[in-house]
Chain A
C-alpha cells in the first residue's frame, strides 16, 4: 500500500478526531436565543443510540459467521447513525437549555458517572472508529480485527449509556 496515501489518511483521521470534540464542545455551549426548542430530538437520538447498540451486535455476529458483505453494510449504517446522533445532539443543545438531573443520593452519583464515562469514551471513540474503518477499507484485516476488539466494546458502551442517560434525565426535561 502506498505509504504516502496511508499517512494522509492518518492525518485526516487525527484532525477530524480532534475537531469533532472541539466543535461539539463549543456548539453545545452556544444557545440560540428566542428559538423554539427542538425538544422532540432527545427521544429520537436516544432511539438512534439504542439502534446503534443493536446493530453493532448484529454486525459482529455477521462477521463471525463470515458474512463480510452484511458486516460492511451494517457498519456503514452504524457510522451514519452515530453521525446523525451527533448532528441531532448539537441541534438540540443549541436550541434548548440544558436539563439538570434532579435525582438525589446514589442515583445522582450513578447518573454523573455514566454521563462522564459516556462523554469521555465518545471522544476517544471517534479516532477508534475511523482507524478501525480505515484498516478494513485498505484491506489490513489483521489490524482491523485487533483494533475492533477495542473499538466494539467502547462503541457498544457509549451507545447503551446514551440510552441510559436519556432514560435517567428524561423526567427532568421541562
Chain B
C-alpha cells in the first residue's frame, strides 16, 4: 500500500487545490476592493472642480430665524453642511432634518461647525415660521441658521451655487421640488466631498439616507465632517 501513497497524496492535493484555490483568489480580489474603499475613507476630501477650478460657495446674505442677517462670511472658519428644504414639506424634509439633527448632536457644541438650512418657500417660511420650526426640532447650536430671503436669490444659490435642483412645481406634494442632498463646505468656503472608487468626488451626501456608508449617507457625512474639523 505504501507504494501507492504518493498517488493518494497527489489526488488529495488536486481536489483540495481545485476547490480551494479559486476561493483564495476570489478572497484576495475582494480584499483589494475593500482596501480601495478604506483608502478613499482615509484620503483627504476632494474639492469639487468645475472648469478646472475648485468650486466655492458664492456670496450670499439671508435672514435667519432670529431676524439676523447671515452671510457666507459668518460661516468662514466653520465646516458647514448645506440643505435646501421648506417647513411645510411633507415628504423628505422631515427625514433630512432628522439626519441633520444627528450632525448637530455630534458637532453642535463646536464653534467651528455650522449648518445652513435654506428654505425654498420663503413666502410661507418667514423668520417667525422658521423660528417655530427650529424650536420644534430642539435646535441648540448657535450656528444652525434657517435662512430665508428673496426667492430668486435662493433658487439661484441652490441651482447655480450648489447645483442642487430646487424649483416650484404645483404637481408634487408640498408644491416644491427639491433634492434631498446635503453639501459639505470647508472652513474656507470650498465645496468638499469624499471620492468614489474611481477617484471622482461624490459631490453630495444623501440627506434622506439614514446610514450605510456605501450609499453616501449620514454616517459617511459624519465621518467626513469630523475629518475636516480635525485635519484642516
Contact = CB atoms under 8 A, between A and B. Distances in A.
Nearest to B14: A50
Nearest to B25: A171
B18 A54 contact: no
B20 to A, nearest CB: 10
Contacts of B19: 43
Contacts of B29: 171
A54 B7 contact: yes
Given A51-B11, A54-B7, A46 B18 contact: yes
Interface in A134-174: 163, 166-167, 170-171
Contact of A51 (B14, B21, B22, B25): B14
Nearest to B15: A47
A51 B11 CA distance: 7
A158 to B, nearest CB: 16
A157 B91 CA distance: 66
Interface residues of B, number: 13
A58 interface: yes
A105 B173 CA distance: 54
Contacts of A58: 7
B187 to A, nearest CB: 42
B25 A163 contact: no
Contacts of A163: 14, 17-18
B26 A171 contact: yes
A47 B14 contact: yes
B172 interface: no
B31 to A, nearest CB: 13
Interface string A36-79: 00000001001100110010001000000000000000000000
Contacts of B25: 167, 170-171
A54 B11 contact: yes
A2 B147 CA distance: 105
Interface residues of A, number: 12
Nearest to B21: A167
- Chain B interface helix/strand/loop/mixed: helix
A167 B21 CA distance: 7
A7 B68 CA distance: 107
B10 interface: yes
A67 to B, nearest CB: 11
A46 B7 CA distance: 17
Contacts of B17: 50, 163, 167
Contact of B22 (A47, A50, A54, A170): A170
A167 B15 CA distance: 12
A133 B29 CA distance: 45
A148 to B, nearest CB: 20
Interface in B1-53: 7, 10-11, 14-15, 17-19, 21-22, 25-26, 29
Interface in B148-167: none
Interface in B175-216: none
Nearest to B26: A171
A46 B16 CA distance: 12
Given A54-B7, A58-B7, A167 B14 contact: no
Given A50-B14, A170-B22, 6 more contacts: A43-B19, A47-B15, A167-B17, A167-B18, A170-B21, A171-B25
Interface of B: 7, 10-11, 14-15, 17-19, 21-22, 25-26, 29
Interface of A: 43, 46-47, 50-51, 54, 58, 163, 166-167, 170-171
Q: Which 9 A-B pairs have the closest CB atoms?
A: A170-B22, A50-B14, A171-B25, A54-B10, A46-B18, A171-B26, A167-B21, A47-B18, A43-B18
